[in-house]
Structure formats: C-alpha cells, structure tokens
A = this chain, B = another copy of it.
C-alpha cells in the first residue's frame, strides 16, 4: 500500500537527519531532551520551572513545537538563553516535530554557548512517538486528570521513553487516578523507564526532575 511505503521512507529519512542532529549536538557537548505529552499536560510549565531552577547551573535553549501560535515561545523567551518556535500548521507532518525541523532550528541556536536543549514537542501521544529528533533522552509527561489508562491506550510513546513524569499531583484529591496502577502499566511496557511524580503548581517533586537532568548532563559529558 502506497501510504505505508511513503511512511516507511519518511521514517528512514527522518532517522538519518536525527543521527546528524545528534552528532552536531554532541560535538557541542549539548544534552537534548525531547519532552512529549498530550495537550495541556504541562510541558511549557515544566520548561519554565526548569529554566528558573537550573539557570545558574546550565545554559539552556528551548525549541517550542506547536501546530499554531507563538504563545509558548513568548512565555519562555526571557528565561532561556535562546528560543526557536516551530509551527507545524502547513508542514507535511503537522502532528509531530520531525528531525528536519530540528535541524533547521539548530542553525538558529547559539550552539557554542549552550549545554542543555529542551525540545517541547507537539501536544500529542501518538505521532511524536514515531519520530526521533536526535535527542539523547525522551521524556513523556502524563497528568492526573488524563486518567491512569494512558500507557495502555498509547503504548509506543511510553515504551520508548527514558523518563515518565506524572504531573499535576496537586489534583490527586479531586480526580480518579491510581498512581500504583499507572506505574505498573508503564513498567510492563518499559521496565527501564524511570518515573517521577511532581506538581508544576506546588513545585513538589521538581527537585527530583532537576536532579535527573543534571545526572544526564554528566552522563553525556562523560561520553565525550
């Protein structure tokens, strides 16, 4: 079937560009983290908190992916070392960032002066799972109001994640969410995935996320 063949070609071409992105990032000793989630799970809030908490330790750039609007880039622009907004609205694949979009964004970033790149993907639990961008680590945020069945319903994105963040823990008294059942579902799909629960609203747990990032930057530096 023609559509499947084209999709296969697109995935392979994406893989080649992703590898080049990764090589470029490693030449500049930059750790790149691909942050994925459903719409409104808290990607931008997490990035804003990360910038505030790690600005003394790391030089951070952000790539903001959105179908439309520059709302997120505007929120981030005064806090990050550099920001590039990607709008996918009129691109062949609007439902996910792809490696080619990241390659272009990297041309606009001051690679010599940053050591952490946070990539906010399109809010979507399906398409971003399929496209590697050249990142070193893949993070999926699930938020409590979405329900604890998301790993079972969207398995690929959880199966390919290095870290799963459970956000909006402050809403636990008001929604039905079985944290233990959620963690079991993640571990069934992906025994190596780490899991951190936090709340971008209260700040609780953000120190664990920041420690995780710092540990990754050390790992990437050690490889070079």
Contact = CB atoms under 8 A, between A and B. Distances in A.
A54 interface: no
Contact of A123 (B6, B152, B153, B170): B153
B92 A95 contact: no
Interface stretch (A18-26, A142-150, A213-221): A142-150
Interface stretch (A27-35, A62-70, A103-111, A203-211): A62-70
Interface string A59-97: 000000011110100000000000000000100111100
A191 interface: no
Contacts of A89: 155
Given A40-B147, A123-B38, A127-B126, A155 B3 contact: no
B40 A95 contact: no
Contacts of A138: none
A127 B127 contact: yes
A64 B93 CA distance: 25
Looking at A93, A150, A154, the one whose CB has the most chain B CB atoms below 10 A away is A154
Number of copies: 2
B154 A68 contact: yes
Interface residues of A, number: 44
Interface string A113-131: 0000000001111110000
A171 interface: yes
A153 B39 CA distance: 9
Contact of A67 (B68, B126, B143, B170): B126
Contact of A150 (B40, B150, B154): B40
Interface of A: 1-4, 6-7, 9-10, 38-40, 66-69, 71, 89, 92-95, 122-127, 143-147, 149-150, 152-156, 168, 170-171, 174-175
